[in-house]
Every structure is written in structure tokens, then in C-alpha cells.
Structure 1
Amino acid sequence: MSRALGAVLLAFAVVFAAAWVRYSPPRPLPASAPPERFSAERARELQRAIAGDGVVTRAQGTPGHERAKGELVDALSRLGLNPEVQHAFVCGRHGSCGFVENVVARRAGSDPNASAVALMAHYDSAPASPGASDDGVGVAAVIEAARALSHDPPQRRPVVIVLTDGEESGLLGAEAFAQLHPLAKSVRSVVNVDARGSHGPSNLFETSTNNAWLVGLAAKNLERPVSSSLFYEVYRRMPNDTDFTVMKATANGVNFANLAGIDDYHTPLDSIANADIGTLQHHGEQVLAMARALGESTEAEHPPAGDATWFDVLSLFIVRWPAGFTLPLALAALALVVGQAIRMRAFGAKGLFASLATLGGGALATVAAGLAMKASGALAVPWIAHPAFPLAALHGAALFGGLSVAAATTREATPRGTWAGTWILWSLLGVGAAYVAPGTAYLFVVPALAAGLTAWLPIEITSGLAAVVAGILWLPLDTPIYDAIGFIIPPVIAISTIVLLSALPPLLRGLPRAVWIGMGVVTCAAIGVATLQPLFSTVHPQRANVLFRQDEDAAHAYVQTSWGTLEWGSPPRSMLESLGPLEMLSPRAPLPVSLPCPSVETTRITVAAPALEVEKSSVENGHRHVRIRLRSLRGATSLLLVFGDGKAPRNVVISSHGQVASSSRGWLVLRGIPTEGLEVDMTADGPDPIDLTLMDVTPGVPKDTPAAKAVDARRALEGVAVPFQEGDITIATKHARL
């Protein structure tokens, strides 16, 4: 191994260690901290109060929800903010409608004509979760930030505290505030906080459009920034949403979230005991800094046009430039590298393709390792109890594939030739990224510029310096990539290793065969150990719900380990056996949002089906018009309307509240249904009757049924399996042709 290669690998190790330290949340400040500072220990008391005993959910309509709402009103009242509870019925964009109770307060600014800054978080939780982190951490961060602001002189712009309800039901609270609350018209900036896990740093992962000025504020005011345009580019292409999705339609702002600790997400494990207080500290510092910056900003009311490309450097500072400069910078890097290669007379066929071959070899080997672990069942679910060996296998495979190819392709190539091939490839990747996703291009453009600008130095030095710059940008991505997507696409987990290897061919000439052969042995051993390890543990339990559904013609018990398109593995065998003989089980989808899951037909019990009263049914101008009243006879507060063939009527109006419902997915969820029910008007294309299945949903399953036995079987697993999302539920259905 050359000295230069050894120095680069040592630098990589230092960067990785620095990233591990810098991207860990900061230490919490004590309750004795100065009053104008954010203190996680002060905020923790409120987080603990709204999370309760760690068992009770804060889902809409539950006692935990009512108790938490009271805690928030009391906390804001103690700050002298005169909070109000916004009671509203609203329909959202995700096929849901419901009653919500937002908690809203306002602190006046010094300029009576200035628009407001909203600090937002949601206080409801998923039905199966106490929500200490999702989003108890956000609520506590917002209120403690508001307390710290109260010790400042009034800012120029007023601050509106918006603690939303019904986020887990489809962003309903944010919709209610945006559509119906009088203060919403004054809000032009938003700082939102959410959580997808129980620990990890606070990531500024999303902004509104025309974000260059916002990124500038973040760069000047965040002491420990964790942010990049890479996060922004990836997230805006994903189907995920937060309350910020609603607000950014009319306001500018930033969105913070932590990603680590998905083991606890939307399960009973999302408790105070598992919520990292350092994460609370980091969220609070970020919220407070941006609230102060936006509160005095004059750009917020009339934001200048233009987006930014940006990234933090080891959470020390943010580097940024106008997004419009990204493609010119990429082209400049390409021109500079090509010009240097011409100057050095560095062109040679063997050297030019060494980096590309190294990149391809690492990628193919990682794909093979991922497929092998998928086939063996080691990666049967996205996140597993013991990820260390699968991670080692994937990164080891990248090293084996990349180094073995590099050893072959650099053997007869000159260092100058491999330098030219390496950085021309990186420059071309930067140009391509600048065209397709400008926010990601910095990952290639900055190292390529470093290579071109230092090319007058000896080849080993310029190659090493550029590789270290690449390492500073790529190595910090290792942890958040796993937190974000798990093993859904295994090769992506090792992308930093794959890409960084392609920066090293100029330093790999003469690499001993024992190095890459050793990496192959390590990879095979890691795959073997990964295959033998259990997928689940009490720290990382399997998600498994039990459902009892009774239709008009049959009753079924289900064990469900999927939600939407995300699967959590085959259900525990003991839970399936509790339903009856395994050969009697058949796959069925109990809900429109579910994938098929094991079910067994069981004895019918006394469960009142939901009531559906037809108040009007007629054909006018060739279209079917129907008015119905829906209610539950067993006290269910959630109703689900499923339309025949997955095709909803073109117009669905909750006429008792004047809200137009979005039912484009072929179903509609109604939350918080009162005892008198709801009146619904529907208009269908054409005169044919409307086929409808009405479901009412209650928590828990009936006693003395196979579903209850499955719950007992899960309990016997002693925490290796837990409910998630909606939790265990009973569904009663009624079919109608209207």
C-alpha cells in the first residue's frame, strides 16, 4: 500500500469518526439554563406529560388525546399566550375527513402590518402508539421555543403556535387551520417539526420553493446544521407528507425531522423511555433559531426568486450557491479536468476506464450480496434487529468488487491516465446530476473541482486531496441512508463505498491481491452470519396487528404484518397457529390500504353493522344523485367507505358540514364520527347505482374469537411482536347498492 493511499484511508476513518460525533444530537441543556436558551430538560416535562404513561394513545377521540390537549392549553396559558381550541370538520387530500381540535396561540409582533411566522407540530399520535417522539418531540420543542421567545423583545413579525390534530389521519389539522382559521391568512412563514423515529439529529430536510434566501438564513443562524439539497431533492420525489405539505402551498418555510429509531415508529415503543432527549435539544435549537431569524426577516413577505444548492460540512457550517450555478459549475469542472488531462498528456485507454470499471465492479458485487441475503431471508424486512453484519456484507462486497476490478484495470495503466479517467467520470456524473437533480450534483462537482484545481501538484497528492474532499461529502450519508430506507434496495446502502472507490484508482496501482481476496472472504463470512441472525428482537420487534372483520355473509380473523405497500415479514407462526390449522388460512386484504394477509373464516358473533339510511336517490341529467346518512350502532368513531371496483363517484360532499371529500383512491375514511352520524351527498357519472361497502372500525378485537387468541399468542412472544399503525381493530361491514 502506497503512503498516499494509506493517508487517504486514514483520512476516511477520521472523517467517518467525526461524522459519527458531529451528527449525534447535542447534549441537553439543564432546566437551570438561561431563560432565553432552549432547554431540553424543561421541554422534557411537557413531552412526558403529553405522552402519559407510555401506553395510552393520543389518537383522535381517545382519552389520551383529550388529556394531551388539556396539557397543551395549560402550557401555553402559563406563557400568557391565551390559547384557543379550533374545533372543525375538514376533508384532506388523502381520502380522509374528520373532526379535529387544533390548539392555536399567537404572540404579537412589533409591526402590526407584518405577516406571521407559524411554529407547527402535531399532537395526535398513531392509534397503536403513545407518540412520545411522533410528534411529542415536535410539540415539546415548539412550546419550549415559544417560552424562550417570550424572554426576547417582541419580534417584528408575530408568531403563531399551531399544534395540529389529525395529522396521522391525513393532515386534517393542518388542512383545518389553512382552510378555516382566520389567523392562517396572516401566516407567510412556517417552521414545522415532525419525527419518523425516536432519536437521531434534527434534519432540515425540506423547504418551500425559491429557497435560496431560506438556506441563507439557516446558514447564518443554525449552530449545528444538518441539511443538504440532496435531502430536498430526494424527499420532494417521494410520496411522503407532513403538515408542512399543506402550509407550503401559501407560505414559505422549513421542515425539520429526525429519522433514526424507526424500530419505535408508530408502535407502543414510541415512549418517553425510548425518546432521545438529545434529539429534543437539537430540534428545539433549530426551531428557536429559525423562529428568531424568520421573525425579523424582511424577505419573508416578498421572497426573492431562486433555489439553492447546499450542503453542511460535518454539521459545522453550510456551503451554498444559487441552483442556477450548478450546471455551469459542473461544466467548468469537466472543462478544467479535461484541460488538465490534456496538459498532462494523461489520455490512455486502460487508465480512462479504470474508474468506471471500479464503480461497476463495486455496484455489481453489492447487488449480488444483496440478492444472496434476500434469498436467504436475512433481509426479509426493511429494518432488522441486527443490521451490523448485513451492512458489513454490503460494504465488504463493494470493496471486494471494486478493488478486484481496480487491481486488474490499473495494473498496466499510468497514474496520470487513471487520474484523468477518474475525474472525467466524476465530472460527467456531476453534469448529468445537474441536469436531472441539481440538488445532488454537489456530491460529484465539488470533488471534481478539487481535482482540477490541484492537478499541478504531484499525482498522488492531487488524487488524495480530491478523494478526501469526496469522503467528507459521501461518508456522512452512510447512517441516514439506512435510517431512511433500510434494506429496501440493498445496494443503495453501500453507495458511499461504491462511489468513493471510484475516486481511488490513481492510488490503487499495484494493490496486493490479498487485499481484495480478503474482502471477499470477509463478505462471505458476514453474509453467513447475517443469515443466522434473528430478524426481530424486543428492541426491534416485528409489527403484527390482529383484525376481526364481520361482513354480512361471513366473519374472518386476520394477522396483518403489512401497511400500504410496506411489508414487515411473514406473521409469527404462533399467531397463525392460534387462528387454526395453517392449511385453512387464506390470503385476504381486510382493508383497502392493506396487502393480502393470512385470514381464517370464523364463527359469526353479535356485532351491529353500521347504519346506512338512504334519504334520496334519483337520476338527474343522466347522473345518479344519492344522499345518505351514515352512523355506527356500536359507538365507532371511524367509518370507511369503499366504492365498488375501486371507482369513487365523481363528487362526494359531506353535506352536513359543507366539505368536498377527495376519494380518488376509491375509498374514503371518516374520523371522529358523532353519534348522530354524518350526511353524505354523492354524484356518479351515469345513471347506474353506486356500489358501496360501509365499514365501521373500533379498537381491540372481540373476546372468545380466533382474533383474541392471536392477540394472546402475540403477548406470549414477550415483546418480539407488537401492534403498529392502527393497531388491533374490529371491523363491521354493510354492503349497499344505492
Structure 2
Amino acid sequence: MDQVSQGTKPDAGTGGALNWLLIGLALAIGLALAWGTTTLPAPAPRSAPADVFSAERAMDDVRAIAVRPHPIGSAEIEQTRAYLMTRMQALGLDPQMRTQTAITTHPHFKDLALAGRVRNIVGELKGSDPKLPAVMVMAHYDTVPHSPGAGDDTSGVAVALETARALKASGGLQRSVVFLMTDGEEAGLLGASAFFHDDPLRGRIGLVINLEARGDNGRSQMFQTSPNSRGLIEVYRDVVASPSADSLTATLYKRMPNDTDLTIPLMKGYAGLNFAFAGNQMAYHTPVSTPESLSVGSLQHMGDQVLPTVRAFAQAGTLPKSLDEMVYADLLGLTFVSYPAWFGWLLALVAVVTAFGALGLGIARRRIAWKEAARGAGGLLALLLGIATALLVELRLASFLLKDVASPYALIAQFGWLLAAAGLIAGGAGVLLLRAAANGKRRAAALWLLGAGLLCGVLGSFSLVAMAVGLVAALLAFVSFGRPAGLAGFFAGAVALVALFTVALQIALPNGAHALVWPLLPLAGVSALLVLAPERAGRTAALAGIAVAAALLIGLMATQSYGFFVLMGPMLPMIVTPFVALAALGLAPLFWSLRGSAWTGAAVLAAGVLLCVFTGIHGRTPTSATPELVQAFYLTDIDKRASYWASTKLDPFGWTKSVLEQDGGAATRRPMEPLFKDPLLSARARQAAFVRPVLDLSMAGEGAARRINLRVANANGGRYLQIFMKPSADMTGLTLEGRPLPGKLSAGKWSQFPFYASGADPVTLTVTPGARGRLEVELVEVRDGWPAGAKVPARPANVVPVGRADTSMILARSRLAW
């Protein structure tokens, strides 16, 4: 064991300098490889060949559509429809507008059901054999209130239109391509539900390609597929010049409570692919999402994937059949790796056997001690929880500094700074913990982890979970870092634990286990080198090989970290913990016994904390790119003759408070169930000149045919209705506009049922009553704009509306007993 430690320890002169050089090169090369995966293609100009996708041409549609917000049911969406009808007509798609009543039910929705009157726009580029199942390209043209929606989803609409133009120019399509622009996606996938429920074209569709966006920049990724997608993936892989997809993402997405329009056809058994880009999520569902903020490179990257994919399927004599699943991912943006699921098991077996083989042979040949390997496994757990604790400090500290900023996007707006801070904090913590393991500094490691855990628990609001993470990390460090550890034994034990995690992931997520299998392969190789050839491990060639493995590992882990941080990192930076821990483990053989590495880790960690403090202070000042998001609205209870100005939170500029108290009332928190789950900040307001929405509740029929009829309608030009029902006993047999609804009204609970684009026409519901009971109904008509005579002050600079802001809500009540 002494031989192992000495054999891998550089001398104080050249060896130390060489190791520092190799560490620097590994970091630089790894981060450069990861950076390369975020680069976007140059937009093709308007003068590009007619059969080529041009983002500059597509931007013309973005600028024409994303002029202002156009949510379902608004006056502005009519202008978008008119533009799309004209544009699709010019492309020769013979567009048709479908007006339908849509109903969506889904386990991810808290509502009993979502419904509305939608107007989908359908066009068709006919192939030489229109009888063949068609390829569908789908995007939604509605936005959320207050967002022009240049990203979500005008970008998808523009890509679809430019794809149609390029396909028409190239010709040679065997099967038709149907273009569906859906209405009401933001309200609850209403347009897609309407089409795939009863549109006459639905039976002709053989494959659905959906286009989405979450933000205004970033590389486009094919992030979701239908089950048994090997045939689809093989076509996508073969025809796209630079595929961007990962079966881990697709596997995780299936298990997440997220939905797009593609959810509906997938639930009905259609084959499909989903494309989207995600970046600058400050622009997601906010006024920031303008044509000027949209990345033209992101548009080009999506088009470069969508156009060849659609063209290949449209030119094919047969569409791929449902086969087995595949493991796939673009490897550092350099190549696209794909293989059958069974080969993934083989790779995992090779990596796991190598890791455990090195450990077993090392113990058998007395190269390492099993206790040292056990400390390595425990040390890896301490490393994981220690990094998580450090990142919890970042989250709690940034949240504390931004706690009185009203914007729900306060952390998201600081994405770049938080990402840099997370990298420094996690990296510094990783180096410090591994050096503590090497030197046997268990008391120092346990004390600073204990302090970090206590800080997490009390910073801002109390959090027992945050405190517990730090306490467990401290305990593991104290147990595992008992005395100076030899590199080979510690490393072999840590890698063996990674192998165990790999086995578990391979069983649980076989199509996503490559996230651990690929890193385990170089780690297991390095472990075998340290254990079985210790006399060579400290030589220059071996160290260079370790550095190459570390660079690849850093590139892979940085790429994964960035992807996950884009989606969840500002709100949950701990999500990058396993990736940072694996990268640190890959570098461990190079800095294990280096002098000054502990000071380097401490300096990096301190720099990350300081950057976090700067981020929290910087985030308090809104800019045009990261504005303060506020919402204030008017609510009047017609039947109780009580009116309020209301909001979810005050802003630091006092604007929301001035709105709430404009009529002389004092802003306090009031319960307003069932409209809002949590109490709202509200102040009494003057009664506005609104009329009572139509709310007729009656009983009809006799005996078993008896029914409760509910008839509701807008009376003030509302954009949508919210219907709340609470029975005294369970009720079933619900219908909407004559269509049966699943589920029931539960006794003593409010069930919510929104109806969008409700217009002036009445909406009718029926339900079967029990022998005796009562039914309470509350109806809210939601209309855009303040009530007449409101004295709302102008918003300060860089303060913009979000959510229910600038709306008036008119409430009516009714009750029926029998």
C-alpha cells in the first residue's frame, strides 16, 4: 500500500508542475468541448437556395406574428389567424379553419377538465400518393397573456412555415405533409385535443412532429419520442447533419409532469417526435419574448433538424414501424452515438466488471486494503452530499438576497451568474473534500460541512431538509476521512460505488443509463491502472492518459450539467451534484498529493460564494432584459357587493401597493377560496360598473332521469370563464355541451372547470344528483383590462405584467338544494 501511494505521488519539483499543467489542460479541453456543444449554426440568409431552411426567412414570420400577446379568446389572436390563413394560402397549403369545442383531461392537470372553443388551422402539402399516411408538422399559435411569444411558440410556427416553403420548392414527396397550427395549447392542449378527438383528418396521420420552445435561445433538441422509437431514431440519425438528442432526456421527460401538444397524439397511439430549444428562460411566458430577443441561430438549428427529418419521412414509401428502444446521444457535439438497448447492457457489464475486477484483484493481491476501499465508497457519498450542501448554500443565499423581489423569475433571471457561481462552489467543494480524504482531515471537513448545513437550515426560512443534508455529509466525512488515504484504494472503492449506481440506473432507466456507463468506462480504466500497475501510474505517459480521460469526463459532465441547469438549475442547483462529483473524481489522481491544492479549492469555493452574493445584489435591480414581473388585478363579487384590488406579492418599488390601495383600502392577506388556494394580498375597492355573468342553476326531469343543469355565459366581454362546483355528496354523470366527462364531483370539495374563448354564447353542463343534497357554484368571468375609472399608476421602468395582471374578475354565486 505504501508502494501505491508513493508510486502515484509526484515529487516536489517537475512532477508537481506537470500535474498542475495536466490539470489545467484537462479543465480547458473539457470545458472547451462542452462549450462547443452550446454553439449555434450561422443563420442561412434569405438568398439561400429555395430548398434550404433559412432562419432569416423564418424571422419574417416571427416579426409579423409576435407583435403583441395573443392568448386564446383574445381580440389579438384574430389578427394572428388572419395572417396564418393568408400565409398558408400563399404557400399552396389550402388552409382550413376548424372551429371546435375542445375538452382535455389529464392526470397532470389539477382541474376536473379543461375546455374551450378553439380554432385550429390545418393546411396540406400534397404528395404524389395522398393515400399514404401523412406526416404532420404541429405548432401552436396562441401565447400566454402578456407575452408576444416569439419563442413559445411563434418560433415553432415560423419553422413550420419555412419547412413548408422548402418542401414545396424541393418537391419529390410521396406522402402528404399536413401542417396543424393549434389554438389553446397554453390553456391546456385544447387545440390538439380537438383535432385528435374528432377532426376528419386525424385518421390520415401516420406520424406527428411537434415544435416547441422554452425560452428564446439555445440549441434545439429532439427531446421526446413515441414508445419503441428505434425506427424513428435511425431515420433522424441518418438524415440530420448534426443530431441533437439524448435518450436520457427522453426517458426522464416521460416521467415528468410536463406536457406539450404532442402529449395528446401520443396518448392516442400515434408515432411522433418532439423538438424544442430551451435557453434564456427569463423570456419564457413573459413580455421579454420579443422578436428582438429571439436567437436566430436557435431558429436555424431547429430548422436544420426538422426540415431533413420531415423530408425523409415524406419521401419514404413506408413509415418506420414500432420496434424496440435505443440508447442514443450526441457525444460532445462531435458525433451521434446510438445503439440497441441490449448493447447498453453489454457496455454496462464491461464497465462494471472492470471496476469491480480492479477492486477485487487489488484486495486479493494485497495492493489495497478493503478498509481503504470502504473509505473510498464512503468518501464518494460524502463528496456527493458535501457538494449538494455547498450548492444548497448558494440557493439559500441567493434566495435570501432576493426574497423581497416580487418576480417569480428572480433566480431564473440571474441564470448566467448562478451557473458560474454553482460551478465554482461545487468544484471548490469537491477539491477540498478529496484533499481532506487524502490527508485524513476528517475533523476539518466535518466541521465545515456541519457549519454549511446549519447555515442552510437557518438562512431565510427554516429548512430541516437543508440542514439534514449537511449533517449527514459531515457524518460521512468524519467516518470516511479517518486517516490519510492511499489514492489507489480510495479511488477503487469510489469507482466501485459508481459501478453500483450504474447497475441500479441500468435496471431502472436502461435507455438513460449511459449517463453513468460512459463516465464509468474511463474511471474504471484509471482505477485498474492505479491498482494493478502502480509502478507505472506516476509516469508521464500514464499521467497524460489520466488527463485525457479526465478531459473527456469533464466535457461529458459539463455538458450534462449545463443541460440540467438550463431546465432546473437556478431553482435547484443541486441537480448538477453527481456530474461535478464525477468530474472531480476524474481529476483526483492528478491533484491527490499536490501541494497547494487545498488552498486552490478553498479559493475557488470562496470565489463562488462571493459571486453568489454579487448575483443576489445584482438581481435586485431590474433591466429591460431581466425586468421585475408584477401582477395586480381587480376582483368583484357581484352577489356580495364586495370588490378588491388584489395581488400575490408586493414589489420592492411600491407600485403594486399603490395599485391595491388606490381606493383608500389597506392591503392585507385575505383567504379567497376556491378562486385561490393561498390567501391573497388585497384591499377594498370601489364597485365597478360590471354586470352579473349568466349563471343559471336548475333541476330538470324526474326519478332516474333527473338532472342538474348549469348554464353560464360571459356578460362583460370576458376572455374565459372559471366554474367552481362543490356538492354535498359525490356526483357523477357530468357532461359538457352534451359530451360526457370522466371523473366526478367529490363531496365537500371544490372542483374547478375553466372554459376558454367562451365568448358570448352560453356554456352548458349537466350532472346527475343524488337522492338529497345541495350544489354550490361560483362562476368567475375573466376579462382583459382594468375597470372603468381605475386610477392605476404607470409602471416604473423595467417593471412588466405577468399572469393575471391587468385583468378584471367578476364573480357570481348560486346554490341549489333538493
Please say if residues 134 and 196 of structure 1, whose CA atoms lie closer than 8 Å, have aligned partners that are also in contact: yes
SS of equivalent to 2:555? helix
From 729, 733, 736, the counterpart of 2:807: 729
Q: Give the superposition deviation at 1:589.
A: 4.8
- Taking the aligned partners of 1:147 and 1:390, their CA distance within structure 2 comes to 41
* Root mean square deviation of aligned Cα: 2.8
Q: What TM-score, normalized by structure 1, do the two folds share? A: 0.90
SS of equivalent to 1:30? coil
Q: Give the superposition deviation at 1:727.
A: 3.8
Structure-1 residue corresponding to 2:606: 521
Q: Counterparts in 2 of 1:191-590, with a 5 A limit?
A: 191-249=209-267, 250-297=269-316, 300=319, 302-304=321-323, 306-344=324-362, 345=365, 346-348=367-369, 349-350=371-372, 352-353=376-377, 354-377=379-402, 381=408, 383-411=411-439, 412-453=484-525, 455=528, 458-459=536-537, 460-461=543-544, 463-493=546-576, 495-511=578-594, 512=596, 513-535=598-620, 536-551=622-637, 552-553=639-640, 554-560=642-648, 572-580=653-661, 584-589=667-672
Please say if residues 138 and 194 of structure 1, whose CA atoms lie closer than 8 Å, have aligned partners that are also in contact: yes
Please say if residues 395 and 571 of structure 2, whose CA atoms lie closer than 8 Å, have aligned partners that are also in contact: no
Comparing 113-122 with 19-28, greater Cα deviation is found at: 19-28
SS of equivalent to 1:471? helix
- Taking the aligned partners of 1:624 and 1:397, their CA distance within structure 2 comes to 66
SS of equivalent to 1:192? strand
Change (3 A) 1:507 1:593: farther
Structure-2 residue corresponding to 1:73: 85
Comparing 221-230 with 571-580, greater Cα deviation is found at: 571-580
**Structure 1 portions without partners, runs of 5+:** 562-568
Please say if residues 399 and 616 of structure 2, whose CA atoms lie closer than 8 Å, have aligned partners that are also in contact: no
Q: Give the superposition deviation at 1:228.
A: 0.8
From 701, 708, 711, the counterpart of 1:629: 711
From 744, 749, 755, the counterpart of 1:670: 755
- Taking the aligned partners of 2:287 and 2:611, their CA distance within structure 1 comes to 32
Change (3 A) 1:686 1:399: farther
Change (3 A) 1:434 1:602: same
SS of equivalent to 2:262? helix
- Taking the aligned partners of 1:78 and 1:294, their CA distance within structure 2 comes to 24
Please say if residues 378 and 530 of structure 1, whose CA atoms lie closer than 8 Å, have aligned partners that are also in contact: no
**CA displacement, residues 563-589 of structure 1 (integer Å, 9 cap, x when unaligned):** xxxxxx867533124423896421445
**CA displacement, residues 598-649 of structure 1 (integer Å, 9 cap, x when unaligned):** 111222222112112235346744x972112211222224111012279984
**CA displacement, residues 139-178 of structure 1 (integer Å, 9 cap, x when unaligned):** 0100110111112333232211111111111111111111
Structure-1 residue corresponding to 2:49: 34
Q: Percent identity?
A: 26
Please say if residues 648 and 666 of structure 1, whose CA atoms lie closer than 8 Å, have aligned partners that are also in contact: no
**Structure 2 portions without partners, runs of 5+:** 1-15, 440-483, 538-542
- Taking the aligned partners of 2:25 and 2:250, their CA distance within structure 1 comes to 31
SS of equivalent to 1:492? helix
Q: Give the superposition deviation at 1:241.
A: 0.8
Q: Give the superposition deviation at 1:297.
A: 4.4
Comparing 188-197 with 440-449, greater Cα deviation is found at: 440-449
Change (3 A) 1:645 1:424: farther
Structure-1 residue corresponding to 2:30: 15
Comparing 627-636 with 586-595, greater Cα deviation is found at: 586-595
- Taking the aligned partners of 1:577 and 1:141, their CA distance within structure 2 comes to 43
Change (3 A) 1:619 1:449: farther
Structure-1 residue corresponding to 2:479: none
SS of equivalent to 2:187? coil
Q: Give the superposition deviation at 1:414.
A: 3.1
Matched residue type, 2:74: T
Structure-2 residue corresponding to 1:694: 779
SS of equivalent to 1:259? strand
SS of equivalent to 1:407? helix
Structure-2 residue corresponding to 1:149: 167
Comparing 440-449 with 350-359, greater Cα deviation is found at: 350-359
Q: Give the superposition deviation at 1:514.
A: 1.7
- Taking the aligned partners of 2:127 and 2:547, their CA distance within structure 1 comes to 53
Q: Give the superposition deviation at 1:283.
A: 1.5
Matched, 1:604 2:604: no
Q: Counterparts in 2 of 1:40-51, with a 5 A limit?
A: 40-51=55-66
- Taking the aligned partners of 1:467 and 1:73, their CA distance within structure 2 comes to 55
Change (3 A) 1:451 1:523: closer
Structure-1 residue corresponding to 2:11: none
- Taking the aligned partners of 2:420 and 2:281, their CA distance within structure 1 comes to 20
Structure-1 residue corresponding to 2:449: none
Structure-2 residue corresponding to 1:120: 138
Change (3 A) 1:335 1:651: same
**CA displacement, residues 342-397 of structure 1 (integer Å, 9 cap, x when unaligned):** 44545333353444443333233222343343344479755344445443443333
Change (3 A) 1:334 1:724: same
Comparing 405-414 with 164-173, greater Cα deviation is found at: 405-414
Change (3 A) 1:405 1:61: closer
- Taking the aligned partners of 1:130 and 1:284, their CA distance within structure 2 comes to 21
Structure-2 residue corresponding to 1:167: 185
Q: Give the superposition deviation at 1:704.
A: 3.5
- Taking the aligned partners of 1:195 and 1:591, their CA distance within structure 2 comes to 32
Please say if residues 636 and 673 of structure 1, whose CA atoms lie closer than 8 Å, have aligned partners that are also in contact: yes
- Taking the aligned partners of 1:663 and 1:29, their CA distance within structure 2 comes to 53
Change (3 A) 1:389 1:75: closer
Comparing 381-390 with 71-80, greater Cα deviation is found at: 381-390
- Taking the aligned partners of 1:169 and 1:50, their CA distance within structure 2 comes to 19
Comparing 143-152 with 472-481, greater Cα deviation is found at: 472-481
Please say if residues 30 and 553 of structure 2, whose CA atoms lie closer than 8 Å, have aligned partners that are also in contact: no
Structure-1 residue corresponding to 2:467: none
Change (3 A) 1:145 1:544: same
Matched residue type, 2:795: A
Comparing 36-45 with 72-81, greater Cα deviation is found at: 72-81
Comparing 446-455 with 92-101, greater Cα deviation is found at: 446-455
Please say if residues 723 and 778 of structure 2, whose CA atoms lie closer than 8 Å, have aligned partners that are also in contact: yes
Change (3 A) 1:610 1:101: same
- Taking the aligned partners of 2:180 and 2:62, their CA distance within structure 1 comes to 16
Change (3 A) 1:297 1:379: farther
The higher radius of gyration belongs to: 2
Change (3 A) 1:73 1:578: closer
**CA displacement, residues 238-272 of structure 1 (integer Å, 9 cap, x when unaligned):** 21111000111221121111111221222222211
- Taking the aligned partners of 2:734 and 2:627, their CA distance within structure 1 comes to 40
Comparing 594-603 with 74-83, greater Cα deviation is found at: 594-603
Matched residue type, 1:522: A
Matched residue type, 1:49: A
Matched residue type, 1:44: M
Change (3 A) 1:524 1:66: closer
Structure-2 residue corresponding to 1:565: none
Aligned length: 718
Please say if residues 588 and 599 of structure 1, whose CA atoms lie closer than 8 Å, have aligned partners that are also in contact: no
SS of equivalent to 1:410? helix
Please say if residues 674 and 724 of structure 2, whose CA atoms lie closer than 8 Å, have aligned partners that are also in contact: no
Matched residue type, 1:159: V
Q: Give the superposition deviation at 1:213.
A: 2.1
SS of equivalent to 1:273? coil
Change (3 A) 1:626 1:2: farther
**CA displacement, residues 78-103 of structure 1 (integer Å, 9 cap, x when unaligned):** 22221111111121125221111111
Matched, 1:57 2:69: yes
